[in-house]
Amino acid sequence: MNEGLAFGLELSALAALGYWGYHIGDGSWTKILLAVGCVAVTAVLWGTFAAPRSIVKTPVAGVVAVKILVFGAAAAALYDVNETVLATVFSILVVLNTTALTILRK
């Protein structure tokens, strides 16, 4: 169940960053490009360094750094577009899920 929640949080991070990219753009094309660009860059970063079957075999510290960057950016993005409740709930779920996964993997 925790693995499923972890995957849901990863997808939520992508959605939050896409939502943020859309809201900071000025025109329609800029909004779309920023939303798609934020999601694409994040997905490539995650897939390259943090995914279980990532292309680059990254040490644990590197994986943790990428996860902090992605989840932190997603929470900050939600705060930036005044979605403070979502940002808070998201942040709490990330911390609880990460803690549970760390304890269960030992």
- 106 falls in which pLDDT band (50, 70, 90)? low
pTM of the full predicted structure? 0.90
Of all residues in the chain, the percent with pLDDT exceeding 90 is 74
Q: Locate the domains of the chain by residue range.
A: 2-105
Cα–Cα distance for residue pair 6/26, rounded to 1 Å: 33
Kindly tell me if the per-residue pLDDT of 105 is higher than 80: no
